[in-house]
Structure 1
Amino acid sequence: MATSSAATSSIDMSTTILIRVDQSGRGGFKKIQDAIDSVPSNNSKLYFIWVKPGTYREKIVVPADKPFITISGTKASNTIITWSDGGEIFQSATFTVMASDFVGRFLTIENTYGSAGKAVALRVSANRAAFYGCRILSYQDTLLDDTGNHYYSSCYIEGATDFICGNAASLFERCHIHSLSTGNGAITAQKRVSSEENTGFTFLGCKITGVGKAVLGRPWGPYSRVVYALTYMSGLVLPQGWNDWHDYAKHTNVYYGEYKCYGPGADRSNRVAWSLSLSENEAATFLTKDTIGGRAWLRPAPSNFKRGASATIAARTDENN
């Protein structure tokens, strides 16, 4: 898990260094990756990379030695990061986050590889990462929510097969989860491997829709943990709700819970016996940001900006394009 070079408490959270990305040449950089590369290694200041509207055909990596970066569009609908790559789950991602204390805002991140195999749009392999108002699109393994504590707020996540997967501890709040599965695909494949791990996916106040039928999750790891709370479920959700991935032994170890969900897909009368209808007390731990320790690390949008990335750097970047 990536760690930051400076304690979060020592960072000035009110002021950030602003870097502009604009394909027209009016910003510091034309490419998002070039803007990321301009941030000093082991930085101890906030950097805000503002991406002007456009379609950016890039395969992006935020390296582990560059914490405290925000990458923000204005609207996800007009700020699109796109690539097409498939095959290997850890290498195919359009956008990879390895650095701690990362924030993504108002971006579309997509992998257009299609339905031929594994094709990750977003890989998050770092601690303390948050995404607000983003659209994350692919087909299989769309969001590789790999490791760390993560927060997704008002995001739209689309795919067909295991399209939210990994072993992070993540809270999805007010997100729209849309399945493209036409058969019996799974929305989640959570990979918790022991009862000692404090990982799992929580969907709080979300909306589940789709074009066919799907289950809420299946166990990538033997102690897989997923909870849906106060969430709307359309008729997409199959009556059994969950799948054991043909491994009956996992019935006694997985933690698959539902709490006060509603809609035609929330009917638990035919759910598998090894899933849980949570009581108010059992659900309480999943209903706040405390489930990811969020009160200690989630930061507000900055209010003060300082200029970064000089014109000289931008000119040098343009020459290399």
Structure 2
Amino acid sequence: MVVVAFGLCSFIVMAGPADMSTAILIRVDQSGNGDFRKIQDAIDSIPSNNSELFFIWVKPGVYREKIVVPADKPWITISGTKANDTIITWSDGGEIFETPTFTVLATDFVGRFLTIQNSFGPSQKAVALRVSGDRAAFYGCRILSYQDTLLDDAGRHYFSNCYIEGGTDFIFGNGASLYEKCRLHSLSEGTGAITAQNRVSEAQDTGYTFLGCRITGIGTLLLGRAWGAYSRVVFVMCSMSNAVLPQGWDDWGDPTKHSTVFYAQYKCYGPGADVSGRVKWSRNLSDSEAAPFLTKDMIGGRGWLRPAPTNFKRRSGVISLTADAN
């Protein structure tokens, strides 16, 4: 076991699996044809401090559950087949750490092809997904709520080809995260905000980068609001619709943050990408300034992002090559 410090947080990292291509398969099926009917029951069946890959394959259905992947259960993948037909939903509003439909506290978690939804609505904070574990990745997921949809809280995270929607500060927290080829959609009929990044010190290596993403909205929207004094958000090669307001960014009512936040874009395009009307304390990056934000190296991704397993085994040790679960 190794304790890794990251920003102001530390994470317990258990020894990794020797074989990253093979996972223990657990099937969740509401019809009763799997190992469990509920996703949480499948998670609970995994031993604490496991050092093997576990692949929880969720059959299509609407799963009305509040899910927690605890800190002592790393190396878990939870996967549907298509996000549109594998839906995890709950309805809870109030405090941000109490409301999430899906909470990830463990390291080395992967979510694939899931819809994660908090259906509470716009009247209170209602988190769909909270990610507080280091080295978490999400592929092809739909993350849906209104206010504070995605609590990208702490650790290094990667989101690929995900659809994320909300109205107010719908991606927020102090993670160090790369969003690649994602769709970000504002539901606000007034003025919404995509991000509220909470970096509080220049020493913290945190922030959000959006690479090759598409930004749309019903009303108007801001790229970000400065929750933390050193808030850091960068949009790179993103398509921005005319929903994006010319000023782009907001200081959360505190002009002292103008000299400490890092808000920038690089080679974005579309009617909302024009930098001529941006607030003076935001940046338009040069090629050399943008270079660190163009690869997964910014989150150390080469060291921890892993492909889906290709071989599966049951706990009895019998090998089951299940291509459909990949």
Normalising by structure 1, report the TM-score. 0.95
User: In the alignment, what sits opposite 1:208?
Assistant: 215
Matched with 2:14 is 6
- Is the contact between residue 115 and residue 140 of structure 1 (CA under 8 Å) also seen in structure 2? yes
Distance 1:306 1:204 in 2: 36
1:257 to 1:160, Cα distance in 2 relative to 1, 3 A: same
More strand by share: 2
Structure-2 residue corresponding to 1:319: none
What is the total number of aligned residue pairs between the two structures? 309
- Kindly, what percent of the aligned residue pairs are identical? 71
1:126-141 aligned within 5 A: 126-141=133-148
Corresponding residue for residue 40 of structure 2: 33
Please state whether the residue corresponding to 1:150 is helix, strand or coil. Answer: strand
Within the candidate set 23, 41, 45, 1:16 is matched to 23
Residues in 2 aligned to 1:290 and 1:126: alpha-carbon distance in whole angstroms: 19
Matched position secondary structure for 1:188: strand
1:185 CA displacement:
1.6
Return the alpha-carbon distance in structure 1 between the equivalents of residues 290 and 45 of structure 2. 44
> Where in structure 1 do 4 or more consecutive aligned residues deviate above 2 Å?
1-8
Alpha-carbon distance between aligned partners in 2 of 1:247 and 1:309, rounded to the nearest angstrom: 59
Tell me whether 1:56 sits opposite 2:68 in the alignment: no
The equivalent of 1:270 in structure 2 is 277
TM-score, normalising length: structure 2: 0.93
Matches of residues 1-321 of structure 1 in structure 2 within 5 Å?
1=9, 3-8=11-16, 10-308=17-315
* Structure 2 letter corresponding to 1:16: A
Counterpart amino acid of 2:15? A
Residue matched to 2:5: none
Which blocks of at least 5 consecutive residues in structure 2 are unaligned?
1-8, 318-326
| Alpha-carbon distance, 1:37 to partner | 0.2
Letter in 2 for 1:96: T
What is the SS of the residue equivalent to 1:285? helix
CA contact (8 A) 1:28 1:309 kept: no
For the 8 Å contact 1:177–1:207, the answer to whether it is kept is: yes
The one-letter code sitting in structure 2 at the alignment partner of 1:80 is I
CA root-mean-square deviation: 1.2
For 2:251, what is the secondary structure of its paired residue?
Answer: coil
Higher relative contact order (CA 8 A, sep 6+): 1
Letter matched to residue 200 of structure 2: V
> Which residue is 2:324 aligned to?
none
- Is the 2:198–2:227 Cα contact (8 Å) retained in structure 1? yes
Question: What secondary structure, in the 3-state scheme, does the structure 2 residue paired with 1:44 have?
Answer: coil
Kept in 2, the 8 Å contact 1:2–1:125? The answer is: no
Matched-pair contact (CA < 8 Å) for 1:55–1:81: yes
2:40 partner SS: helix
CA distance in 2, matches of 1:309, 1:85: 39
CA contact (8 A) 2:13 2:107 kept: no
Q: Give the secondary-structure state (helix, strand or coil) at the position aligned to 1:194.
A: coil
How far did 1:309 drift?
A: 8.6
- Any idea what SS the aligned residue of 1:265 has? coil
The Cα of 1:205 is off from its aligned counterpart by: 0.3
